[in-house]
Structure 1
Amino acid sequence: MARGSTPKKVEGPRGVVWKMTVDVGVDPATGRRRQKKLTAPTRRELEVQAAKILADVSRGTYLEPEKKTLAEYLTEWLAMHGKSNLDPSTLRRYEGAIHQHIIPLIGSIPLAKLQPLHIQEMLAKDLAGGRRDNKKSRDRALSASTVLYHYHVLHKALNQAMKWRLITYNPADLVEPPRKTKTEKAVLNETEVAALLDGIRETYLYMPVFLIIYTGAREGEILALRWSDVDWDQNILHLRRSLYQRTPGQPLFKEPKNKKARAVDVSPVVMAELKKHRTEQRKQRLAFGPGYADLDLICCLQDGNPINPPTLSSVFRTKARRLGLPVTLHGLRHTHASLLLKAGVPAKVVSERLGHSQISITMDLYSHVMPGMQKDAVKKLDDLLAGKA
């Protein structure tokens, strides 16, 4: 049971003070009892201070105050937790949020003294002018979505601090984060899809773009796809991994997002394109000679090496703009989903093709497509009840 010594009145160079020692439990590292010395100008203040500490010890919520700053903690958290629990691309984004936004604004505050108001003020400053990654746009306002991401990173880090018993509560829980602004995704219609494919048919963009449009897979999943992942008998593509590449020449194949492989059915049209592409790729391989990198990749450079994802995205965006189609490579994934939903394909099926962990994610992302589907549903119900079906 937690207890303390008898308060003692002590004469000092600055006058009378009251002192006592309280038992604050066992040190888990050494197994020895820990004690804390308290000092206050009056006996009453000393007893109040001691009572609070003893109550916290009894409840198991007492933490020894530390001088560690938020910046020091976040740096340790990234090294100890982030590198072993986050994939490289996510870790890079976390590092950017922490080192470019969170630490410059509130990093000097001691972790134990971090308050909700500190975090609220940080979010407000980010919204007003928190851009740090580009000299031309420095100090411009950040979007609510970006600031919300910074909040989630900090919240996650502080949750871990609670588990490590460095803080007694998460101050981010008491903060009002910005609301994410919903924007309609830029997608292509059927005519625009045809124009896009015609415009890039003779470039290395064609096959990865074609496969994203027809499967809804992520860019990294398509760039990691191997010929051995193709089931030629069942018309199925097995998405078992994803390509991450921070710098050219350093490919990293990892598990797909959500760490779940999935199988995607494709049409005879897709299978025909794959067979045609395989024939052309074999010709390129023979022409290139012994220096060809045999990685079994469906989408690759002329020498067989992986395509750098950021480079592909950049080249595609430039080409699409020249064709008068303001869509990103990731927007083709949205195009796939939107076209299927408009065609009446159940949202559950679309969600499975996209590899979403929950159908609610699909419903939230593509809610703008739903109004038209609602009208179709009402008409079908009327026809059914009227005996027209």
Structure 2
Amino acid sequence: MHIKKDQIRGTWYFVLDAPRENGKRKQIRRTGFKTKRAAEQKYRQFKQEIEESGTFKIVSDISFNDYLDYFIKNYMEVNLKESTVRNKLFLIEKHIRPVLKNYKLREISPAIINEIINNKVKEGYKKKYISSIFTYIKLIFRYSVFPSEFLKKNPAEHLKMPKIEDVSNTEKSITMDNLNKLTKLWKNTKFNIIYTVGLHTGMRLGEIIALEWDNIDLNKGIITVNKNAVTLGSEVKLSSPKTQSSIRTINIGKTLILELKKWRVEQIEQKFKRGKFYIQSNFVCTYSDGRWIKPNSIKSNGTALKKKYGIKFNFHMLRHTHATMLIENGANMKDVQERLGHYKYSTTMDTYAHVTKKMSDETIEIFEKAINQN
């Protein structure tokens, strides 16, 4: 056994032959053990790893900060869409880098990661958002093991999300009373057509903002969804939809067709009225001077409506409200999934389970009433 004592320092060390690299001899040397027994234990550990795997990976001394830059460049920028990279970077720079930047990558333990997630719960973030942070932390560390080989083990591998009480799905829909108030308020804003399309189709905000008149067949009553407007820093760009299943056609009713026709006429009138000062485009969602309406403008307007009139509201609630109204009135769940552009049927079922539960309760009440009359 190649274990010896450093006569000058008084500590123990060992030298171990590792598998050859490119035909050249390679040795692993570890020093600084206070006792011979400690050196022997570490020697056996390294030797066993070599015998079992045929290799030995020396844990990197890279800082988490440097590794994170490596991960962004070699994984995110290579494998993800530009819009996704921007969204994930916001999450990383806000919630992950600040708390881990002063650690070496190898120093980060399961307990440290667990504390980060628990703190997010205490700070009051929603379950879905915390889950996104947790999922990305796990991905970052999984990549550090394979294929990057900076670590031998993933410290986040066996961690689980804490139990979090989240906002119920019933609170994500708008009550009929508030909906009636909101529709009256929208009529007096420059964003009326956007809110109206959202309520009548369940489309995502980015999908509506990206609509061009070529995507709408007013004669057949069909909207084709094939683009998404995404915010990248201070810019808004068109990209492909969220998933392949988000590319879809949506049937629309007479009420929305009439609203779209009226809006189309108003757009054309504004073009003639403003002449060369009108900004030409084929977008459906524009201001009176032809400028393209951006997603952040709608979010700001929704916040203002909520603050001014005390109505709990954000644009995404229109999507939930649309789906809830469909299901409560007997729409097939598979049809709702396709209309919303959900990738998985289970997503639709999980999101609107509270609606089907309510319908089941009402169904049994009808039966009880019927049988008790006989």
The DSSP-based 3-state class of the residue aligned with 2:75 is: helix
- Structure 1 residue runs of 5 or longer lacking an equivalent are 1-5, 130-140
* 1:81 partnered with 2:75: yes
Paired position in structure 2 for 1:149:
132
Paired position in structure 2 for 1:113:
107
The DSSP-based 3-state class of the residue aligned with 2:15 is: strand
Q: For the Cα contact (< 8 Å) 1:199–1:323, is it kept in 2?
A: no
Offset, 1:295:
2.8
Q: For the Cα contact (< 8 Å) 1:70–1:106, is it kept in 2?
A: yes
* 1:253 partnered with 2:238: yes
The DSSP-based 3-state class of the residue aligned with 2:4 is: strand
CA distance in 1, matches of 2:179, 2:12: 81
- Distance change (3 Å), C-alpha of 1:231 and 1:13: same
CA distance in 2, matches of 1:338, 1:60: 58
Paired position in structure 2 for 1:181:
165
Paired position in structure 2 for 1:354:
340
Paired position in structure 2 for 1:12:
7
The DSSP-based 3-state class of the residue aligned with 2:165 is: coil
Equivalent position amino acid for 2:42 in 1? Q
The DSSP-based 3-state class of the residue aligned with 1:12 is: coil
Offset, 1:112:
2.3
Q: Which digits, 9 at most, give the CA deviation of each residue in 1:1-27, with x for residues without a partner?
A: xxxxx515355212373532321453x
- Structure 2 residue runs of 5 or longer lacking an equivalent are none
CA distance in 1, matches of 2:331, 2:97: 46
Higher mean C-alpha deviation, range 299-308 or range 96-105: 96-105
Q: Which digits, 9 at most, give the CA deviation of each residue in 1:310-346, with x for residues without a partner?
A: 1211113323554553211111111101111111212
TM (norm. structure 2) is 0.86
Higher mean C-alpha deviation, range 11-20 or range 233-242: 11-20
- Distance change (3 Å), C-alpha of 1:11 and 1:153: closer
* 1:289 partnered with 2:283: no
The DSSP-based 3-state class of the residue aligned with 2:93 is: helix
Offset, 1:155:
0.9
Equivalent position amino acid for 1:36 in 2? I
CA distance in 2, matches of 1:236, 1:383: 41
CA distance in 2, matches of 1:190, 1:126: 34
CA distance in 1, matches of 2:242, 2:43: 50
Q: Which digits, 9 at most, give the CA deviation of each residue in 1:274-329, with x for residues without a partner?
A: 12211111111222223433331111222333212112111133235545532111
Paired position in structure 2 for 1:339:
325
CA distance in 1, matches of 2:227, 2:285: 14
TM (norm. structure 1) is 0.83
Paired position in structure 2 for 1:169:
153
Offset, 1:258:
1.7
- Distance change (3 Å), C-alpha of 1:94 and 1:364: same
- Pick one of 50, 59, 66 that aligns with 1:65: 59
Q: Which digits, 9 at most, give the CA deviation of each residue in 1:329-385, with x for residues without a partner?
A: 111111101111111212222121111111222222222222221134446788999
* 1:275 partnered with 2:261: yes
- Distance change (3 Å), C-alpha of 1:17 and 1:180: closer
CA distance in 1, matches of 2:73, 2:277: 39
The DSSP-based 3-state class of the residue aligned with 1:317 is: helix
Q: For the Cα contact (< 8 Å) 1:295–1:304, is it kept in 2?
A: yes
The DSSP-based 3-state class of the residue aligned with 1:364 is: helix
- Distance change (3 Å), C-alpha of 1:252 and 1:115: same
- Pick one of 20, 23, 27 that aligns with 2:18: 23
Paired position in structure 1 for 2:42:
49
- Distance change (3 Å), C-alpha of 1:24 and 1:112: farther
* 1:300 partnered with 2:286: yes
Q: Which digits, 9 at most, give the CA deviation of each residue in 1:150-191, with x for residues without a partner?
A: 222211211222222222332212224223433133322445
CA distance in 2, matches of 1:330, 1:311: 14
Equivalent position amino acid for 2:167 in 1? T
Paired position in structure 1 for 2:30:
38
* 1:227 partnered with 2:222: no
State the identity %. Answer: 24
CA distance in 2, matches of 1:128, 1:189: 30
* 1:97 partnered with 2:80: no
The DSSP-based 3-state class of the residue aligned with 1:122 is: helix
